[in-house]
Structures are given as C-alpha cells and as structure tokens.
Amino acid sequence: MKLLGITSCPNGIAHTYMAAESLRKGAEELGVKIKVETQGSIGVENEFTADEIREADGIIIAADKAVEKSRFVGKKVLVTGVQDGIHKAQELIRRFETGDVPEYKGDMKSINEVKQERKDKQNPFYRHLMNGVSYMIPFVAVGGLLIALSLAIGGHPTDSGLQIPKDSVWKQIMDVGSAGFTFMVPILAGFIAMSIADRPGLAPGMIGGYIAANGSFYGSEAGAGFLGGILAGFVAGYIAKWIKSWSVPRVIQPIMPILVIPLLASIVVASLFIFVVGAPIASLMDWLTAFLNGMQGASSIILALILGAMISFDMGGPVNKVAFLFGASMIGQGNVHIMGAIAAAICVPPLGMGLATLLNKKKYEKAEQEAGKAALAMGLVGITEGAIPFAAKDPLRVIPSIMAGSMVASTIAMLGHVGNNVPHGGPIVAVLGAISHPLMYFIGIVAGVFVTALLVNTVKKNVA
Amino acid sequence: MKLTELMSKDLVDIDLKASTKNEVIDHMIEKLDQSDALKSKRKFKKAIEKREKEGSTGIGFKVAIPHGKSKAVTAPRVAFGLSRAGVDWNSVDGDNAQLVFMIAVPEESAGNEHLKILQMLSIKLMDEAFRNQLLNVQTVNEAYELLEQIG
C-alpha cells in the first residue's frame, strides 16, 4: 500500500513535524509506504507530484489548519487533527487497510463529473454517435495518413487509378493504412453499441459494423459505408440493451453479458443486413447505375451536380461507389470529363472540413481539430473518408454542407472541361499530370472547399 | 546549526518547581527574558496563550512545547525545563507534562534555519529512547549534552 500524508498546524513550528515523523514511523512499522508533505512555517516541504497522488491508495490529512484538497478529488482522503497524526498514526493507516475511508468528492465538480453531466443533457442519439466517432477518429487518421503518404510518394497514375508497384515499400505502408481503414466502420458501430448497452454491445456492434461495411455478405458490390455502420451500431446496441432487460434464471446470469447477449444481438444485426438491408442496397446501386447511364444524354451540368452530391453523400458507401464506378467506366469509353468532375468533388469533404476546423476552432472539439488536420492531408491525395468522423458525428449539418461543396467543385470542373484519365481524385492527380485544364480543376476544388467550410461553420453550433 | 545555538545552559532547568501550567510558562518566560530574547514579556506571553487556546501544546508522551511567534521576540530561542513531578498541560493523552520546551520565534526573521532546527527537535521528540534519556538526566550538563545532538 502506498499512502500520502499531509501535516499542518497553526504556527507550523513543531506539531507539523511531529505528526509527520509519527506517520513515517507508524507506516514503517506496518510495512506501508508513506510520503508526508509538511505545510509548516518553513513552507511546503516534500510536496507531492501529480504522479505520486495518482499512484497513492489514499491520503491522510492530519492538520489543524485548512489544507487545500482539490488535488485529491477521487482519492480516498482521511481528514483529522494534527494530534491524531502524532498519537494515532498506526490507527489512521490501518483505516485504509480496512477500506474504511470515504472518497473525496471535492467541493468543485471533477472534470469527469462535469463531462458526465454534460453528456446526460445531450440527446442520447448524439451521445452514442459521438462515442463511436471518438473511438473511430484515430483509425481514420492512422489509415488515412498512411494511405495518403504512400499514394503521394509511391503512387503512379494508371487506367485503374493510382497504383503502387507491388515490390515497393510504399505498397506495404499502404496495406497498413488499409488495415486501419478496415477497422473504421466496425469500431464506429461497436462503440455506438457499447455506449448504448455497455460492454455486451461491443461485439455485436463491431460484428454488425464489419458486415455493414462489406457488401460481400449480402451480394452487393459495395458495403453500406459509415451510414450502414451507424445503423448497425444502433441496432446492435438497442437489441443488446433489450436482451439485458430480460429476467433470466440465476444460473444463466453470469454468461448473459459475455455469451448470450453478444450472440443473440450479433445474429439479429447480421440477419438485418443480410436479409433486409443488403438487398435494397444492391438494388439501389443497380438503380443508381442505370439512372446515371440514362443521364448521359442529358445536360452535363446536371450530371455533374448529381455526381458531386453522390460522391459526398456517404463517402465510400454505396452511393459514392456508384458514382465513382460510373466515372471510371466512362474513362474506358473515352469520356474523361466525368471523372474530372468526380475527382474535384472527391477531395472537397476532407479539405472543406479541415479548413472549417482551422477557420473556427470554437465549433470543434480538440479531437476534431486534430482530425481536421489529418483530413487536410487525406484530401490532398483524394481520400474522401477523411471527413467521415465529422459526418458521422453530426450528419444532418455536415453531409449537406459537404454535398454542396462537392457539387460546386464538380460543376466548375465540368464547365472548365477538366479531363481526368485516372480514376482517382484530389489535387494529387493533377500533380501527377493526369488532369487536363488543371487551372479550372483547382478553381473548382478551392471554390467547393470554401463553400463547404463556410456553410458547415454557419450551421454548426459552438461546442459547449 | 545546532539546537544548542538557540539555547544556553541558563535556559535549561532540570528541576522545575512550578506546579501549574501557568507558573511554568511564567518561569520560563522569565528565563528567556533574562537571556535578552524578548522585548516584552507580556506580549510574548500573549502569543503563547493564544497558541495554547488553539489547542494545547501538550502533545503527550510527557512532552509540552509551548511556543509563540511574536514581534516581541528579538531572536529565536529555546528554553528547556524538566519537571520531576509533572504538570497538568491538558495533554491529549492525559499524562502530565514533564519535558517542557518553550520556543520563541520572531515574527519576521532572516532565513529559516532556526525553523529547521525546531523541526529537528520536533522529530527527535518523537523518539521514545531520546525522551527517556532526557527524563532521567541528573545535571544541566547532562541535559545539555543530549540537546547538543540535535541539529
């Protein structure tokens, strides 16, 4: 056991040090480690460090003078007179061994309590979303930055997008980044579910998120993206919470949280995607593809608007995929302008959100500001996913803003006859020389980025 | 620096005759005054009494440490008295005080070396063996030798 002691007395001449000595002796006899801070007339001696306070099992305050206790919020604190320190040192120490000491709550609320209160006031839907997003952000950042770096340095423009030679070290770095991205949606879904149902929600949430992100489970070319992940997280979480409320025989109770709840909730969420959501997603993709093919004869401006909106709507989800694959297939048919418009739209969400965090820090939490910087890097190499943390946390404000920005960018690119013969987006394709009319390409991107940033900062509220 | 630098043999009385707390305090203040440590006996006594009111300085283990921090003190000084019979000091443990250290500290003084010395004295008084030696001294010199160890 490790204890801390504070001794203090009115004049700070004698008792302070007697009590300190007595505590040290008492602790030594009981085989307990103690460090005693003396607050006497010499001043504070032997002052605790933050680490020592953190590691301590408890604090004895033997003082006849007010001692500042705010350092000890959340620790076991025994407050008594300096005489007890002198005479009852061993007794005081033993009270920590018997667990007979209350935790100091503090006159002021601790940071955690304030956070908890703030959470309780929030709409539960946002609270669960935020929990998922906060755990997802590092995965997006790690994955996105590694992919961005490897594409920027090791990527070569080809007909099938930016490719990295297989024998290049950048290929391995890219794969590490992809591993990070693979966890993105499962982590999002898992921690949404955990926020709802506590630990039993984590497994069904993550499994559900993985299924949502992988279309192969339900015969779809693309997964349901982060929006599907959010759905999976909420479904898994509420199912798990509901099963938790069942009254079950005592013998089964211990295995409920580790086996029964995760198993049943996983089956439900998996069935939901495989039998209910999966088929509509696949048919939605077919329908959208047919729709876009039918649009070819129509005004290219309208097509650009639609494609820009689709690219940003779910960033890597089915709608985005349809638009992207449509653009890629058009390159094969000799029409490089569609991909030009898409390439400009692709980088707007991450660049726009990154710029938004720089323009107004008050509207973004610390973690979001960091995610904003990562998003900027991802945007430069055309990784739309950089904006997902923002969209997942506040979909109703962020998604329309990024869609508007992408629509502006794709339209300007289309009007400027920007061509792109590499199915990839962002400034990097221009740098690599795959873009015709790069000036208009950049004007489109910059305009779209500013539209997104200004719009989202207008509709977003300040964080509390 | 040693404790005895704040003392002199004149400030050691190994046979206190006074039988009450108040008499012991008066007697020891008189000694401190004779050593030119005090500007005003009355004001220093006020400081001592004020401290006693905040809580008895009879810390138990037969020890009392009446002390005062006052402008009436010109130099830090410690007086020691041993009462064979013991004096009621309202000690926490109920025992009579036999070892009485009177500590005079100036309100403001350069440095805190004297406070360090008093800190050492306080710590030493927690040592039972030391207290027993002090209780059994027969001469002023014997007591003084023991007190010289501190510091």
pLDDT at residue B69, as a whole number: 87
Q: Are residues A337 and A404 in the same domain?
A: yes
Range of the domain at A137: 119-459
Q: Are residues A130 and A101 in the same domain?
A: no
Residues A74 and A183 placed together within one structural domain of the fold: no
Tell me the per-residue pLDDT of A8-46, one tens digit each, with 9 for 90 and over: 987 788 889 989 999 999 999 998 999 999 998 878 889
Looking at the predicted structure, is the pLDDT value of residue A417 above 70? yes
E strand or H helix at A301, and its extent?
helix A300-314
With a pLDDT cut of 70, the percent of chain A lying above it is: 96
Read off the pLDDT of residues B116-133 as tens digits, 9 standing for 90 and up: 888 888 889 989 999 999
Pull the structure tokens for residue A279: 């088929």
Distance to chain B for A16, nearest Cα, Å: 8
Query: How much is the pLDDT for B10?
Result: 92
User: Does A124 lie in the same domain as A102?
Assistant: no
Q: Does residue A278 lie in a domain region?
A: yes
* B28 CA: distance to closest CA in chain A (Å): 18
> Across the interface, do A17 and B60 touch by the CB < 8 Å criterion?
no
* A208 pLDDT tier (thresholds 50, 70, 90): very high
pLDDT the model gives residue A297: 67
Look at residue A106 in the predicted model and tell me its pLDDT. 65
Q: Looking at the structure, do residues A40 and A164 belong to the same domain, yes or no?
A: no
Is A113 domain-assigned? no
Token pair of A23 as six digits: 């505590």
Confidence of residue A113 (pLDDT cuts 50, 70, 90): low
CATH number of the domain where residue A61 is located: 3.40.50.2300
Burial of residue A344 (CB within 10 Å: 0-12, 13-18, 19+) is buried
Please check whether residue A8 is in contact with residue A40, taking contact to mean a CB–CB distance below 8 angstroms. Answer: yes
In the predicted model, what is the mean pLDDT of residues B88-96? Answer: 86
**Which residues does residue B97 pair with via DSSP β-bridges, in sequence order?**
B87
Cβ <8 Å between A42 and B92: no
Q: Is residue A448 part of a domain?
A: yes
Residue A392: name the closest of A60, A68, A137 by CA.
Answer: A137
Residue A436 sits at φ, ψ, to 5 deg, of -95, 150
Domain endpoint, select from A108, A141, A168: A108
Same domain, A225 and A125: yes
The verdict on residue A401 lying in a domain is yes
- For residues A270-282, give the mean pLDDT: 86
Mark which residues 103-132 of B lie under 8 Å from A by CB.
Answer: 103, 105, 112, 115-116, 118-119, 121-123, 125-126
User: Look-up: residue for tokens 């023991």?
Assistant: B146
On average, the pLDDT of chain A sits at 88
- Give the pLDDT band (50/70/90) at residue A6: very high
Burial class (CB in 10 A: 0-12, 13-18, 19+), A29: exposed
**A231 and A262 inside one domain:** yes
Amino acid letter, residue A384: T
Average pLDDT value for residue range B137-149: 92
What pLDDT does A116 receive?
Answer: 58
Phi, psi of A353 (to 5 degrees): -70, -35
Domain identity same for A394 and A337: yes
Q: Render pLDDT for A306-345 as a digit per residue (tens, 0 to 9).
A: 999 999 998 888 889 889 988 888 887 888 899 999 999 9
Q: Is the pLDDT of residue A229 over 80?
A: yes
Q: Cβ–Cβ of A13/B55 closer than 8 Å?
A: no
What integer pLDDT is reported at residue A423 of this predicted model? 86
Whether A17 has its CB under 8 Å from any CB of chain B: the answer is yes
Chain B (43-72) residues lying within 8 Å, Cβ to Cβ, of chain A:
51, 54-55, 57, 59-60, 65, 67, 69
Q: Is B150 exposed, middle or buried (0-12, 13-18, 19+ CB in 10 A)?
A: buried
In angstroms, the separation between the Cα of residue B151 and the nearest Cα of chain A is 14
**How many whole angstroms separate alpha carbon A93 and alpha carbon B127?**
19
Domains parsed from chain B with CATH numbers? 3-141 (3.40.930.10)
What is the SS3 assignment for chain B?
CCHHHHCCHHHEECCCCCCCHHHHHHHHHHHHHHCCCECCHHHHHHHHHHHHHHCCCEEECCEECCEEEECCECCCEEEEEEEEEEECCCCCCCCCEEEEEEEEEECCCCCCHHHHHHHHHHHHHCCHHHHHHHHCCCCHHHHHHHHHCCC
Residue A263 inside a domain? The answer is yes
Interface check A87 vs B, CB under 8 A: yes
Query: Given this model, what pLDDT does residue A114 score?
Result: 55
A279 CA to centre of own chain: 29
CA–centroid distance for A126 within its chain: 13
Query: Does A370 map to a domain?
Result: yes
Number of compact structural domains in chain A: 2
Residues A55 and A127 in one domain: no
* pLDDT number for residue B141: 93
**Gap between the Cα atoms of B118 and B103, Å rounded:** 8
* Same-domain status, A104 and A146: no
- Distance between B16 CA and the closest CA of chain A, angstroms: 22
pLDDT tens-digit series, residues A344-393: 999 999 999 999 999 999 999 888 898 999 999 999 989 998 999 999 98
What's the length of chain B? 151
Q: Tell me if residue A9 is catalytic.
A: yes
Question: CA-nearest residue of chain B to A21?
Answer: B123
Mean local confidence (pLDDT), A263-276: 93
Is the pLDDT assigned to residue B113 strictly greater than 60?
yes
pLDDT confidence of A118, banded at 50, 70, 90? low
Pairing of β A58-63 and β A43-45? unpaired
What pLDDT shows up at residue A270? 93
Convert the pLDDT of each residue in A61-103 to its tens digit.
999 888 888 888 888 899 898 888 888 899 899 888 887 788 8
pLDDT surpasses 90 at B110: no
Is residue A464 situated within a structural domain? no
Tell me the chain B residues in contact with residue A9 when contact means C-beta distances shorter than 8 Å: 55
Cβ <8 Å between B65 and A14: yes
Last residue of a domain, one of A45, A77, A108: A108
**Closest Cβ opposite residue B60 in set A9, A38, A87:** A87
Residues 6+ apart with CB under 8 A from A266: A203, A204, A207, A208, A236
**Residues 19 through 38 of chain A touching chain B, CB cutoff 8 Å:** 20-22, 25, 38
Residues A79 and A196 in one domain: no
Instruction: Tell whether A101 is covered by a domain.
Output: yes
Identify the domain boundary among A60, A78, A108: A108
Same domain flag for A255 and A401: yes
